[in-house]
Amino acid sequence: MFLEKYFSKSVLLASGGEQTSSRWLSLLASFRAWLFLLVLLAIFEIWARVAYNATFLFNPMNVKAIALFTITPLLLALGQTFVIISGGIDLSVGFTMGLSAVVTAHVYNWAAQFGNPAISLVVAVVAAFAIAVIPGLINGHLIADLRIPPFIGTLGMYGVARGVSFLLAKGTTVPVEGRLLGEIGNGETFGFPNLVLLTIVIILGMHYVLSHSPYGQHIYAIGGSVNAALRAGIDVRKNTIALYVLSALGAACAGIFYTAKFSAGAAQAGEPVLLDSIAAVVIGGASLFGGSGTIVGTIIGALIIAVIQYGLVFINVEPFWQFVAVGVVIIISVLVDQMQKGGRK
C-alpha cells in the first residue's frame, strides 16, 4: 500500500514537472519573434559600441532607416497575414504592387495635365486601388469557386500581373512629372517620415479588423477548420474572396508608397520583397498550416528582417549574407512552430 502511494505520488510530481516545463517552452515559443528581435538588437548594439564606440539602437538615423526599410515588406505582409491565417498563401502580391506603382505613375502624369496636383494624387491613388482589386478578385474566385490550390492560383496571377506591369511600363520605369507625390513620399511631419505615419494608420486599421471584428474571427475559424467554419454558418466562399482582395489592397498601398518615395513607378518594385513579406508573417509566429497569427507578430517579423538587412550593412558585412541570415531565422521559426504543435498534441 505504501509503495503504491509512493509511486503514484512520484508519477504525479514527474508529470507536474513535465507540464510546467512544457508550459515554459510553449511560452518561450509564443514570444520567439520578440526574443529574435531583442537578441539581434543586442548583438548590433554591442558590436557598434565595441567596434565604433557608437550606438546602434539609440541613433535616431538608424531607427528612421530601419523604419523605412520595414515599410514595403510590412505592407505586403499585413494582407498576407490574413491569407496565411486562413491557411492560404498569396504569391502574386509582389507584382500586384508593381502594377499599382506603374498605374499610379501613369495616372498621376495624365491627371496632372489638368493643373491640380491634389486632384491628380487622389485620382492616381483611386486608380491604383482599382487595378489591384482585379488580381485580388481573380485569385479569390480561382481559390473559392474553382478550388484551385492557393499556391498554384496566385502563382499564375504572379505571372499575369508581371506581364501586364511590364507591358504598361514598356519595360522601363515610369517617372512621375510633378513634385507633390515625391514631397509626400520623402517628407516628414513632426520629425517622422510621412510614409511611416501612414503605415501606422494602416497597421491600426488591419489590427482592428483582425482582432476586434467578426470578420477577423471568421478568418481564424476558416484557418482552424474549414468544415467547422461551414458548420458554424460562416460564408467561407465570401470570406475567402475578401481575403485575397484585402491582400491585393495591401500590395496597392505598397505600390503607391514606392512611387511616392522614388518619384517613379516600376513593374519589378515588389519582386525583391515578396518572400520577405511571407517570411515576416512566419517569423512573427503565424503558422503556414493556418489558424494562428497576429498583426503585432507580423510587425515584429518585418522589423527582424529590416534589422538584419540594415544591421549587416552597418557592420560592413557583405549584403549577400542578409539572405542567409533571414533564411536561418525562417527555418528556426518553422521548426519552433512544429515543435510547439507537437507539444500540444
Is 207 inside a domain boundary? yes
Burial class (CB in 10 A: 0-12, 13-18, 19+), 218: buried
Return the pLDDT at 14: 44
Return the pLDDT at 242: 96
Is 19 inside a domain boundary? no
Q: With contact defined as beta carbons under 8 Å apart, do 290 and 86 qualify? A: yes
Return the pLDDT at 119: 92
Average pLDDT, the chain: 88
The predicted-structure confidence for 86-135, as pLDDT tens digits, reads as follows 999 999 999 999 999 999 999 999 998 887 889 999 999 999 999 999 99
What does 147-166 look like in DSSP terms, one character per residue?
---HHHHHHHHHHHHHHHHH
Percent of the chain at pLDDT > 90 equals 63
The total domain count for the chain is 1
Is 106 inside a domain boundary? yes
Return the pLDDT at 7: 39
Q: What are the respective helix, strand and coil percentages of the chain, to the nearest 5? A: 80, 0, 20
pTM: 0.88
Q: With contact defined as beta carbons under 8 Å apart, do 310 and 66 qualify? A: yes
Is 79 inside a domain boundary? yes
Q: Looking at residue 101, which CATH number applies to its domain?
A: 1.10.3470
Q: Residue 194 is part of which domain span? A: 34-49+56-344
Is 7 inside a domain boundary? no
Return the pLDDT at 81: 96
Of residues 9 and 184, more confidently modeled:
184
C-alpha cell at 38: 531583442
Is 248 inside a domain boundary? yes
Q: Residue 4: pLDDT above 50?
A: no
The predicted-structure confidence for 270-324, as pLDDT tens digits, reads as follows 888 988 999 999 988 888 888 889 999 999 999 999 999 898 888 888 878 878 8
Is 185 inside a domain boundary? yes
Mean pLDDT (whole number) for 54-69: 91
Is 25 inside a domain boundary? no
Burial class (CB in 10 A: 0-12, 13-18, 19+), 86: buried
